[in-house]
Structure 1
Amino acid sequence: MKIFFVERKTGELKVETVAGDAYLRWTYDTKMGRSILENIMKKKFFSKMIGLYMESPFSRRRLTSFINELSIDMSEALNENISGYKSFNDFFIRKLKPEARPIAKDEEILISPADGRVLVYDNINVCKVVQVKGLDYSLEELIGDKELANSYEGGVCIITRLNPSDYHRFHFPDGGIPITSKRIEGSYYSVNPLALKKVAALYCKNKREITIFQSNNFGEILMIEVGATCVGTIVQTYKKDKQVLKGEEKGFFKFGGSTTIMFIKKDKVKLDSDLIKNSDEGYETKVYMGEGIGKRN
């Protein structure tokens, strides 16, 4: 099964290059693979072991092939020289040149918090938030707070899936103040579309971190970072209760694919029509951190 997405800049329908594609399919499509997944790969110790290797200098030997296989543009990186990275993870959490991700400054524009492939849903039913067609989950189960979940009824959900090739730092979609946060421990399933079609309520099973962000222009926003296979660490770099600027860094994911999810309350934002159209047709849209994805109502 090929994974298609829309390249927003051109409108072209493209096929995603998936790192470890054959291994991923074996894991989720075969009996033996699923057994290893449930007994080993989804466990914290497995991602922790992979993480330790990715932090070691020995992991640097993978950099050249990884960059070439996934066509990563090193001219965007603050440090363009591969030899300047101490480990694979040091490269994976690389910072970019400021001009590589310009921020849409208009206060009426909501920006993408990360690079990735986006699905958007408006007028959501918090008891049946779409994971993929045919599978859903409840917002209460995702965040562990029924009253808070119910306050987002009829609002919007924005899911940004980060491919291993993507820039892996995430940012604030507007200026404002992050006021509360909590961590929910969980498993480490892949967030690849193949896995999302196989594991019900996957986001509710994986490790995740939840921040209530009081934005300047879009009201209260739930910002959720979801870990995945080999993402043993989600690092938050912001300070609670301190004013942040639009596009300011919130944190980063260490090695692996991962996902950010935002929930915004009803009548606060109008999502861009191309994102809605593509999502309705079942296609993710490739977006970049800092570009507009909606406007204030």
Structure 2
Amino acid sequence: MVKFYNRQTKSYEIEQVAGDKYLQWTYSSPIGMRLLELLVKKKIFSSIYGSYCDSKRSRKKISSFVKNFDINMSHSEKKLEQFQSFNDFFTRKLKKEVRPIDMNLNSLISPGDGRLLAYENINLDELVQIKGYTYSFNKLINNSELLSKFSEGTCLVLRLCPTDYHRFHFVDNGVCEDTTKVKGDYYSVNPIALEKIPELFCRNKREWSIFHSENFGDILLIEVGATCVGSIIQTYPPNVKIKKGDEKGYFKFGGSTTVLFIEKNRIKIDEDIIMESKKGYETRVFMGEKIGQKL
């Protein structure tokens, strides 16, 4: 059971987890863990399933997914019958009016839809993966030059579950450098897996880039792959000025995570998000909504 905080209703809710029974079995039973290590975490497993989700045969999955998880298709640019594959549906674009962007230059916005954890004054040797489990910045990125830049700064971890909008966006005006790709495994990023796999973010496939924002200094952007995420697609033009809210890229099928590191004394995250993170609860957020303030 995954519980998160809904800041709109100021209440806690239980997440509808796609493949919940499969996840519980895989990450909790000896046979499931053995299968995980032998096959499920491997690139070939996610690549094969990703290829299926790219095919026209996968269109039959769309209607049942929409029904089972109560997806609001009125938010989608395309109609249900227009999708050519499950991944076409999964990476769907939304109408601009359903994700209004807070354009106040002092407001830090969420880069996407998902469940957010936020940590301030971070120790880069003991970053929080989930309550009680930590990992180190060096293992995540292995870049000593960035170590001092983000020490004692802010870390944001936005987890996208399979039912979420799966495109991620820039939080400010600025220029983003080229993406660096790091090979790795394909564990699930659901809290069920985060409680079982030490240093999971450091073991999964990931991509990172430095974003030179106009109002919040340099920001390290990291996209983490997961089980059945056949691809992380970067759609932004590197080293070209972009605007706040512009699309950076998207994840194909599967739950996935984007992590942001922000320099010290640049921002103040909204208090409700900080308080829930300290208690170990993620906060539900949507792309474009304010999550912090410029200092």
Cα distance in 1 for partners of 2:288, 2:143 equals 30
Question: Counterpart amino acid of 1:103?
Answer: I
Please, which of 147, 150, 153 is the counterpart of residue 149 of structure 1?
147
Please, which of 215, 218, 242 is the counterpart of residue 216 of structure 2?
218
How far is the alpha carbon of 1:82 from its aligned partner?
Answer: 1.2
Would you say the 8 A contact 1:217–1:296 is kept in 2?
yes
How far is the alpha carbon of 1:181 from its aligned partner?
Answer: 2.4
Which SS does the other structure have where 1:117 is aligned? Answer: strand
Question: Counterpart amino acid of 1:68?
Answer: K
Please, which of 275, 278, 288 is the counterpart of residue 286 of structure 2?
288
Unaligned stretches of 5+ residues in structure 1: none
Q: How does 1:1-297 map to 2 (within 5 A)?
A: 2-79=1-78, 81-297=79-295
Which SS does the other structure have where 1:229 is aligned? Answer: coil
Question: Counterpart amino acid of 1:155?
Answer: G
How far is the alpha carbon of 1:69 from its aligned partner?
Answer: 1.2
Cα distance in 1 for partners of 2:31, 2:148 equals 40
Cα distance in 2 for partners of 1:73, 1:143 equals 37
How far is the alpha carbon of 1:132 from its aligned partner?
Answer: 1.0
Cα distance in 2 for partners of 1:130, 1:175 equals 28
Cα distance in 1 for partners of 2:192, 2:241 equals 39
How far is the alpha carbon of 1:179 from its aligned partner?
Answer: 2.1
How far is the alpha carbon of 1:41 from its aligned partner?
Answer: 0.4
Would you say the 8 A contact 2:224–2:257 is kept in 1?
yes
Would you say the 8 A contact 1:180–1:213 is kept in 2?
no
How far is the alpha carbon of 1:281 from its aligned partner?
Answer: 1.0
Would you say the 8 A contact 1:143–1:149 is kept in 2?
no
Which SS does the other structure have where 1:160 is aligned? Answer: strand
Cα distance in 1 for partners of 2:118, 2:252 equals 25
Cα distance in 2 for partners of 1:264, 1:181 equals 17
Give the aligned CA root-mean-square deviation in angstroms. 0.7
Cα distance in 1 for partners of 2:120, 2:253 equals 31
CA deviations 1:190-249 (Å, max 9, x no partner) are 000010000010000000000100000000000000000000200000111100000000
Greater than 2 Å deviation, 4+ residue runs: none
Which SS does the other structure have where 1:151 is aligned? Answer: helix
Cα distance in 2 for partners of 1:203, 1:21 equals 21
How far is the alpha carbon of 1:7 from its aligned partner?
Answer: 1.1
Question: Counterpart amino acid of 1:71?
Answer: D
Unaligned stretches of 5+ residues in structure 2: none
How far is the alpha carbon of 1:68 from its aligned partner?
Answer: 1.3
Q: How many residues align?
A: 295
Cα distance in 2 for partners of 1:172, 1:132 equals 25
Would you say the 8 A contact 1:126–1:153 is kept in 2?
yes
CA deviations 1:18-59 (Å, max 9, x no partner) are 011001100000000000100100000000000010011111
**TM-score, structure 1 as length reference:** 0.98
**TM-score, structure 2 as length reference:** 0.99
Would you say the 8 A contact 2:51–2:230 is kept in 1?
no
Q: Which stretch of structure 1 is more off in the superposition, 18-27 or 138-147?
A: 138-147
